[in-house]
Structure 1
Amino acid sequence: MVKDFKIVHESEIDGTPDAVFFAATEGNSGWLWPSPGGLEKTVGGAGPMGSTVTAWDPPHHYASRMEGPNGFYNELEFEISQRPGGKSWLRYVHSGVLFGDWEKQYDGAAKHSAFYIHTLGQYVKYFAGKQAGFADVQGPAASSSPEAFEAVKAALGIHGAGAGGHVSVAIAGLGTVDAVVDYLDPNFVGLRTEDAMYRFFGRNAFGAVVGMTVHLFADGADAEAAGTEVAGAAWSAWLNKLFA
């Protein structure tokens, strides 16, 4: 089945409109994933991942749209307004078309959107304006089982900490990661340290494997590909050992 979808997520962000606009346009590596090729800062210009910029009004409005065969399109829109106390209100709209099991895909996309926008808020509050060293890590096939994400939470020590708590995880090759649990629900976990964010995705609930992303904000991290590769490899080994 082919069907359009629209996901709207609104939230207050602890940061200025300028900081939120930067996150949405040039700071993607800090909360989502890098956008190779840069961004043309004008309507009609080239946007991320082959998209086209459809709105450009800094720091209040940005949108991009990607199109493809068979009626495919994917559009992201950020509307940002100022709030008192150096804060902002963000209205995020993700719309497009889904193929196949629409309800399951929509559920997954909506839950991912909430997690991504929360992560954007963490980025703006704690790491605004920084580029990140980024690694995308996928678990082995065994991490697609129904109970896989609960095993990840247990290995991280989440059940004893809960949202807002602290965890310490020993990662071979990295040492001990001491982190705040900044997000926790049945499908996602967010960990934040003084110079990094780690995002865990229970995509086993949506027919895929468990995954995670690494966002490193240490000085020069965006340029230190070797350090990012080490972190990604270390977490990949941790996941593989967990599901061996």
Structure 2
Amino acid sequence: MTQTLDIQCEANLPVPPAQVWETVATGSGNLRWVFEMEIEPWVGGIVSRGPSTVTVWDPPRHFACLRAIEGFSALLEYRIEAREGGSVMYTSIHREYIHPIDDLDFQRDIAEKHTFFYNHTLEQYLRHFNGRPATFVELLAPAGSQAPDALKKLCHRLGLPDDVAQGDTVQVTLPDAGQQEAVVDYLHPAFLGLRTRDGLYRFFGRNAWGWPIGMSLHLFAEGIDAKHTEQAWRTWLDETFG
């Protein structure tokens, strides 16, 4: 008997459908909020993440892709519905079909929390940086970041106070940008999102599930040196968790 994970997110976004489509259904758009994912723009086209195959291509309304291997398949779907006044109702669907496993609740917890964080980041991009291309940097912290208190340690190193709350404006020290004012746009025991004037900094506390912490940076200033930025953060992560 196949088991199903079904995760859905919805948001009312203050941008026209074409701008949402360009952000979720193109390679350059995905760099602005999620991860590297090139998409061939036709039904049957290849999506590099997975890899998957495009199953629906109806710009700017409906996109879906499917990854299918023995014992597992995963559907990613975006629906974009225009509303009066120029806004959009955006729906994201993440669905997995898997053979029965003992840890389904564990897998659901991981998938739900990551999906919610990614879609929150999409909203942040469209509300605060819409139309700006991104330099994308992705990192994995050393094995020492698997410790139960690793994300808390990272927050302290950034300069966040113990009583910080989502929505707070704080002063943080970033390896790639120095002292910066940032909004804590997302705060969860396993995730941290910081929004600066020119970037979205995403911290994935996967130590909550026994894995190293991950990071993604979506940087919108011109002239960003991705290799220099990656090295600055890698050194910082090694110092913090090495």
Normalising by the residue count of structure 2, what TM-score does the alignment of the two structures yield?
0.88
Instruction: Give the corresponding residue for 2:137.
Output: 135
Q: Deviations over 1:43-69 (max 9, x none)?
A: 22222322111111111111111122x
Instruction: Give the corresponding residue for 2:227.
Output: 229
Q: Is the 8 A contact 1:51 1:66 kept in 2?
A: yes
* CA-CA distance at 1:220 after TM superposition: 5.2
Instruction: Give the corresponding residue for 1:6.
Output: 6
Q: Does 1:153 align with 2:164?
A: no
Distance across 1 between alignment mates of 2:58 and 2:83? 18
Instruction: Give the corresponding residue for 2:125.
Output: 123
* CA-CA distance at 1:146 after TM superposition: 1.2
What SS does the corresponding residue of 2:31 show, helix, strand or coil?
helix
Corresponding letter in the other structure for 1:215: H
Mean CA deviation greater in 199-208 or 77-86 = 77-86
Distance across 2 between alignment mates of 1:145 and 1:43? 44
Q: Deviations over 1:128-166 (max 9, x none)?
A: 233321111111111111111122223330534421112
Q: Is the 8 A contact 2:176 2:233 kept in 1?
A: no
Structure 2 unpaired stretches of 5+: none
Q: Does 1:202 align with 2:200?
A: no
Distance across 2 between alignment mates of 1:85 and 1:234? 44
Distance across 2 between alignment mates of 1:232 and 1:83? 40
Q: Does 1:66 align with 2:67?
A: yes
Give the direction of change, closer, same or farther, for the CA distance of 1:200–1:158 in structure 2 (3 Å limit). farther
Structure 1 unpaired stretches of 5+: 222-226
Distance across 2 between alignment mates of 1:18 and 1:149? 37
Q: Is the 8 A contact 2:173 2:180 kept in 1?
A: yes
What SS does the corresponding residue of 1:241 show, helix, strand or coil?
helix
Distance across 2 between alignment mates of 1:143 and 1:46? 34
Greater per-residue helix proportion: 1
Instruction: Give the corresponding residue for 2:75.
Output: 75
Distance across 2 between alignment mates of 1:97 and 1:142? 33
Q: Is the 8 A contact 1:204 1:210 kept in 2?
A: yes
Distance across 2 between alignment mates of 1:16 and 1:31? 17
Q: Given the alignment, which residue of 175, 178, 181 partners 2:181?
A: 178
Instruction: Give the corresponding residue for 2:170.
Output: 167
Give the direction of change, closer, same or farther, for the CA distance of 1:159–1:83 in structure 2 (3 Å limit). farther
* CA-CA distance at 1:199 after TM superposition: 0.2
Instruction: Give the corresponding residue for 1:57.
Output: 58
Instruction: Give the corresponding residue for 1:224.
Output: none
Mean CA deviation greater in 163-172 or 20-29 = 163-172
What SS does the corresponding residue of 1:149 show, helix, strand or coil?
helix
Give the direction of change, closer, same or farther, for the CA distance of 1:107–1:87 in structure 2 (3 Å limit). same
Corresponding letter in the other structure for 1:4: T
* CA-CA distance at 1:197 after TM superposition: 0.8
Distance across 2 between alignment mates of 1:3 and 1:208? 24
Corresponding letter in the other structure for 1:15: V
Q: Deviations over 1:75-96 (max 9, x none)?
A: 1000111234432111111012
